[in-house]
Chains A and B, each alone.
Chain A
Amino acid sequence: METILRVSQLTGGYTPRRPVLHGIDFELRAGEMVGLIGLNGAGKSTTIKHILGLMHPHEGDVKVAGVSLQESPQQYRSAFAYVPETPVLFDELTVEEHLRLSAMAYQVPEEQYEQSAASLLEQYQMVPKRKAFASHLSKGMKQKVMIMSALLAAPPLYIIDEPFLGLDPLGIRSLLDQLVEVKRRGAAILMSSHILSTVETYCDRFIVMHQGRIAAQGDLDAIRSAAGMEQRSGSLEDAFYRLVTGGDR
């Protein structure tokens, strides 16, 4: 399968003297969903910021769809959509206008935008709120706007940071269904979340980060094995606990 995201030996952080990330190395292939998990401060968000191109690596590089940000900024940025942990919306735009803005930015044909926007608004129960300003939405609704905008862009890679915070149960179900659907169509998804049971159910592989390093990566058996557990014994949560604390519960 085609590699969509390649993070190679990435070392980075907020100041050159004190890197937060140390030699991060992983890749995402088309049609797979990968869970990025770790304790608070493990380096998940910093990794995501490096992928987004908001931070410069001290060492190593990041390639999306085969190019780095320096090689082709436009191709690099067109290749992913991002859903941040805290919804970041433009207060002066309505729900519908956010979708329009995203579609314009990602060059979605107008006809396709109109169809997809109507369907997404319906799926996320946002039709009555489509004319509402972002500043008048609840946190969960704002998160829905972020998710709808990302889905509308239909890029080859989705980077989703803590998508379930504030979402109602129907919203969570819609999002998961849609992630399965975009994955089936060949997109890659990097999802950071603390809801380990959901991550275990929906993700094909896992990257466990701890103190700025990758403590383990691979499918569930690989994670169990890295945690010193037997094959097919225990959940992702059990393995995660052993990896980050070094002991049994």
Chain B
Amino acid sequence: MRGEVSRLAELRQERARAFRKEVLPYLRYMGQSGFPSFLSLLFIASAIGYVQLIRHLPADFPIVPVGVIALTPLLAWSPLRTYLFPADIVFIMPREAEMGEYLSKSLRGSFFKTGWLAAAVFMLYMPIYLQGDANIPAWLLAIGLLLVKGGNMAGACQERRMAWSGIRRISRLLRWTLTALAVAAWLTALWWQAAAFMVLCGLLAWLCCSLPKKQRLNWERLIHEETMTRKRYYAFFGMFIDVPVLAPSVSRRPYLDWIIPRIRYAHSQTFVFLYGASLIRSELGGILVRILLLGGLVCYMAADSQNLAGWAAVFAYVLTGLVYGLQLSGLRAVHCHSVWKHVYPLPEEKQIEQLLRVDRAALIAGLLLLWLPAALPLLIGGLFAPPLAALAAAFLYAATRPARLRRKLRVEADED
């Protein structure tokens, strides 16, 4: 029995090794793509901004809200890499009783990976925290937050066992809310008050977790989570090179879905319709929306502070616009292996033109939406040159991109 258990744990290690081996070549392609240079640039720009911020922290800086916003996601986020596959329902599920060591290895791995990330953000936040009231010494705060992290890992494990997805979502929302409250308590109250509040939150979470119907091991949930994680990796590497295609995850996104029925019914719109729906509902659409939200926030903050006479906002706008464009170019890979591309009576050249139309519309919409938070605070503040320069850069990018993308698509079509 013991031997069987360790064989399962070895299987997990083997799968983890195989995954690392699988993504290694993609990392190399990513390295050659210029993405690391872009990241370095972003890192340098952020580091300059960060150092300036902690040196001259404004008196009215919202220290506690920033701490809660920065720390909560990293403490509450509790992913689990199980390396489980759909076929495991047939081959490993019969040995469910022996899965303890397999899963505890996954749990340990996830705790350390997300823990390091949380620790890094904690270290970055400390210089800001210590300039405020700082009721609790940093080491004690670190212990408190570590306990919050541990509680979240345990809570997330219970959520994965829940039988109904609706209840699981509610439970997760509650866990995130309680985490935010506990973090706020640690940042504002005395240590014993914060500790007592954290224990109360933990008890409430435990009570709520213990009520719903649970499975011993929710295999489908674990496999789904693993598949989603792989998809995210592939979606990321897909920006640089062709990667294995997994069935895409789909989300209806009602705030964008209204666009699809408005695409005109016509033969000339066939692939506009297909790529439009794919863009809006696929993981790619979700990533683009997140880039717009995050980029918009960064642009707004840069514009609002009027750093470098407004040119910092232009810099942030250009960087975010390039990331958005780079990510958007992943659309061309969405149906590249679909049999219908060859079967539908639509010449390849027209398919390319229709894809370019979707790409152009999404690019212009994204660049304009990003421009608003970058430009409006500057225009209101009487600075006109930087927002106009940003607009000119956006037009230049949108005007030159289709030709480049068309060339790339033709080369890819010839290679097929």
State the A residues within 8 Å of B (CB).
52-54, 73-78, 82, 84, 88, 90-93, 97, 100-101, 103-107, 110, 113, 133, 135
Contacts and interface: CB of A to CB of B under 8 A. Distances in A.
Contacts of A88: 338-340
B248 A91 contact: yes
B247 A97 contact: no
Contact of A84 (B278, B339, B346): B339
A113 B266 CA distance: 11
Contact of A92 (B267, B278, B344): B278
Majority-rule SS of A interface residues? helix
Interface in B238-293: 247-248, 250, 252, 260, 265-267, 269-270, 273-274, 277-278, 280-282
Contacts of B58: none
Interface of B: 247-248, 250, 252, 260, 265-267, 269-270, 273-274, 277-278, 280-282, 335, 338-340, 342-347
B344 A133 contact: no
A92 B277 contact: yes
8 pairs of A and B residues whose beta carbons are closest in the complex: A77-B345, A78-B345, A92-B281, A105-B344, A104-B270, A107-B267, A105-B270, A110-B265
B2 to A, nearest CB: 41
Contact of B347 (A74, A93, A104, A135): A74
A128 to B, nearest CB: 17
A66 B296 CA distance: 57
B335 A52 contact: no
Contacts of A90: 274, 277-278, 335, 338, 340
Contact of B273 (A54, A101, A110): A101
A99 B343 CA distance: 15
A52 B277 contact: no
A167 B282 CA distance: 28
Given A52-B339, A90-B335, A104-B269, 14 more contacts: A74-B346, A75-B345, A76-B345, A77-B344, A84-B339, A88-B338, A88-B340, A90-B274, A90-B277, A92-B248, A97-B277, A105-B346, A107-B267, A135-B250
A106 B345 contact: yes
A133 B247 CA distance: 13
Given A88-B338, A88-B339, A113-B265, A93 B344 contact: no
B273 A104 contact: yes
Contacts of A93: 274, 277
B345 A105 contact: yes
B266 A104 contact: yes
B342 A54 contact: yes
A53 B342 contact: yes
A103 B346 CA distance: 12
A45 B282 CA distance: 31
Contacts of B273: 97, 100-101, 104
Nearest to A153: B345
Contacts of B347: 73-74
Given A74-B347, A101-B273, A91 B265 contact: no
A52 B344 CA distance: 10
Nearest to B348: A73
A110 B265 CA distance: 7
Contacts of A97: 260, 273, 277
Nearest to B274: A101
Contacts of A74: 345-347
A208 B42 CA distance: 65
Contacts of B280: 92
B391 to A, nearest CB: 32
A54 B338 CA distance: 11
A86 to B, nearest CB: 10
B230 to A, nearest CB: 16
Contacts of B277: 90, 92-93, 97
Nearest to A88: B339
Contacts of A73: 345, 347
A103 B273 CA distance: 12
A91 B247 contact: yes
Contacts of A76: 345
Nearest to A84: B339
A90 to B, nearest CB: 7
B247 A135 contact: yes
15 contacts: A52-B339, A77-B343, A77-B345, A88-B339, A90-B277, A92-B280, A92-B282, A100-B265, A104-B265, A105-B344, A106-B345, A107-B267, A113-B265, A135-B248, A135-B250
B223 to A, nearest CB: 15
A133 B277 CA distance: 11
Interface centre among A54, A104, A105, A113 (most CB of B within 10 A): A104
Nearest to B272: A104
A104 B343 CA distance: 13
A48 to B, nearest CB: 11
A71 to B, nearest CB: 14
Contacts of A75: 345
Nearest to A159: B343
Contacts of A52: 339, 342-343
